[in-house]
Amino acid sequence: MRLAAYVGVALAWMTVGCAVHRSDLEIPDREAIYDRPLEEMWPEVRTFFTENNLPYREDKGSMVLETDWRQEFGGSKIAGYWHRYMVLGKRESPTQSKLWIIRITKSSNKALSKPGKELDWGVSRAVGGVSDNGVLSPEDAEAYFNAPQGENSFFAESGQGARDLVMEWKVFRSVAPKLAKDENAPKPVQVAKAPGAKEAPNALSIECGLPIIGLAKQAKKGAVLLLGEMHGTQEVPRFLAQTVCQSVVAGLPVTVGLELPLESQTRIDTFIDSAGTEEDWLKLMDAPFWRSPYPDGRSSEAMANMLEQLRQLRSQGLDVEAFVFDHPKAQGQEREKAMAATVKQQVEATPDRFFVLLSGNIHARTKAGLPWDKKYRPMGLLLKDDLDTVAALDMAYNSGSAWICAVDSKGVKDRLDCGVRNAKGKDNGDRFFMHKWDGTNDAGYDGVFYVGPVSASVPAVQRGMGRPGANDNSENPLKDEGSSYAAFP
């Protein structure tokens, strides 16, 4: 029977090699089919959401339920993204059934907006749209979701929806064995618990956003993933935070490396282990780095908020660590050597962790040479020479904007002009993804990571020294020390 085959596949995923954590990172290429009628399967589905603390409202009799909104990264008040699931039970045949789970995402900053659209996911609206009588039935929803805009998603106002096959299989691996009364069913994936944590949360209690395509192939213990970015966007820090969240919830301890000054290490350690109070934020932000007269994007609101997202994960008992590796007092090749040495020391000290490093895209290259120096050896190349598993991905994005520092537009020597600039990219859809090529290109990259349309993130302290984006910075305004840079329009 098909149930036995599918359960066998699930069991194999949970037991073969290092697939213990990859099973919940891998995006399935097929649907999960329950070898039970829809009426028998549905009660167990309802139990699954109840037991995993995912409150929901149900449309009685239609096999449709909708969970409550959950904020990304464990309830951060500045994350700006909320998620919920729309779960539709579907009849495959008189004796078989399946689930469609649509992840709905909304953003307070309208980053998911599409002009001229409005989406209301309240109880008074139907799923996705209306028919002649004002209601789109669950039976008609399949045709609607089968022809989405973008890559398996639809957009309207600040909402985004996409089918979540990973979640569908999480439910299946829990529910199908119960229906088959299989006592040897695979146990739920355990999150990577921090060494000093008294307890760790259930994997499903942490909201990590829509699964990143291709992450499973890169995430493993001992691997070093270099993300070469264009500084100053909202999307890259969120991509990094989601990468960390999804990996650690799938059972993989993660260490984040950031291109921030080495002297920031103590402040960042203290903040990630803190309660995230206003005083904790002030201690973090009260450093020269965040108040540079030429903020290049590494000190953006999005970067500060990403540290908050790591703090949230750590505060819930997840095994997340962070270190900094920039040596700003060094120049050129000596700076690359110093950064590589710092990273190498961290990796060799804890080889059982997954390392995700974020830096400017020149530092992440793994081949020698730059247009102005053919012998230049970037940090990525130095790491690849010394470490076993290093992959460098270049940033790919759709057009938008970024906070960029460039040579002063008026020709003033030794001065940078910083502000919001247009960023021209290429449309590769709307989903976050990683893709590794069969080889390495001429720039020294093994593949790309794609973040969709980009939007500029202003310096974290531009509106004050408190928590970025929390609308409470007026309590701790930034002192005017005579520095100036382009203001966000």
- How far is residue 383's CA from residue 247's CA, in Å, rounded to a whole number? 22
Please, what sign has the CA dihedral across residues 196, 197, 203, 205? negative
Same domain, 380 and 428: yes
* Residue 185 lies inside a defined structural domain of this protein: no
Note the pLDDT of residue 463. 60
Q: How far is CA 308 from CA 12, 94, 237, in A?
A: 37, 49, 11
Nearest CA to 259 out of 210, 328, 192 is that of 328
Q: How far is CA 300 from CA 275, 295, 330, 393, in A?
A: 21, 8, 23, 22
Tell me how crowded residue 264 is: count the other CB atoms within 10 A of its CB: 19
Same domain, 225 and 134: no
- CATH number, domain of 359, equals 3.40.50
Same domain, 157 and 290: no
Q: Which of 129, 164, 179 is the last residue of a domain?
A: 179
193, two tokens: 């618990």
* Residue 480 lies inside a defined structural domain of this protein: no
Chain position carrying tokens 């940090």: 379
Same domain, 216 and 142: no
Same domain, 132 and 220: no
- Return left, alpha or beta for 26; rule: phi > 0 is left, psi -120 to 50 is alpha, else beta: beta
Note the pLDDT of residue 465. 56
- What end-to-end distance do the CA atoms of the chain give, in Å? 62
* Residue 211 lies inside a defined structural domain of this protein: yes
Note the pLDDT of residue 45. 96
* Residue 324 lies inside a defined structural domain of this protein: yes
| CB-CB contact of 426 with 268 (8 Å) | no
Note the pLDDT of residue 221. 95
- How far is residue 320's CA from residue 315's CA, in Å, rounded to a whole number? 10
Same domain, 271 and 155: no
The H-or-E segment that residue 259 falls in is strand 254-261
Same domain, 152 and 224: no
Note the pLDDT of residue 199. 84
* Residue 431 lies inside a defined structural domain of this protein: yes
Same domain, 162 and 255: no
| CB-CB contact of 400 with 455 (8 Å) | yes
Same domain, 144 and 254: no
- How far is residue 273's CA from residue 195's CA, in Å, rounded to a whole number? 13
Q: How far is CA 397 from CA 183, 256, 276, 341, 437, in A?
A: 47, 22, 31, 30, 17
Residue 435: which residues within 8 A CB-CB, separation 6 or more?
A: 214, 447, 448, 449, 450
Nearest CA to 418 out of 284, 294, 301, 272 is that of 294
* Residue 52 lies inside a defined structural domain of this protein: yes
Q: Are strands 254-261 and 320-326 parallel, antiparallel or unpaired?
A: parallel
* Residue 191 lies inside a defined structural domain of this protein: no
Residue 36 lies in domain: 2-179
Q: Where are the alpha helices (DSSP H) in 149-277?
A: 165-179, 215-218, 235-249, 265-272
The H-or-E segment that residue 383 falls in is helix 379-386
SS3 content of the chain, % helix, strand, coil (to 5): 30, 25, 45
**Based on the structure, what is the number of domains in the chain?**
2
Same domain, 30 and 120: yes
Note the pLDDT of residue 78. 52
Same domain, 446 and 391: yes
Per-residue confidence in pLDDT tens, the chain, 489 aa: 333 333 333 333 333 333 333 457 889 989 999 999 999 999 999 999 999 999 999 987 889 999 999 888 765 545 578 899 999 999 999 999 999 999 998 876 555 555 444 444 444 334 444 444 444 455 455 444 443 333 323 333 345 788 999 999 999 999 998 888 765 555 667 899 998 888 888 888 899 999 999 999 999 999 999 999 999 999 999 999 999 999 999 999 999 999 999 999 999 999 999 999 989 998 998 888 888 877 888 999 999 999 999 999 999 999 999 999 999 999 999 999 999 999 999 999 999 999 999 999 999 999 999 888 899 999 999 999 999 899 999 999 999 999 988 766 555 555 678 889 999 999 999 899 999 999 999 999 999 999 999 999 999 887 655 566 554 443 444 443 333 333 333
* Residue 486 lies inside a defined structural domain of this protein: no
Same domain, 207 and 156: no
Q: Which of 129, 147, 179 is the last residue of a domain?
A: 179
- pTM (two decimals): 0.80
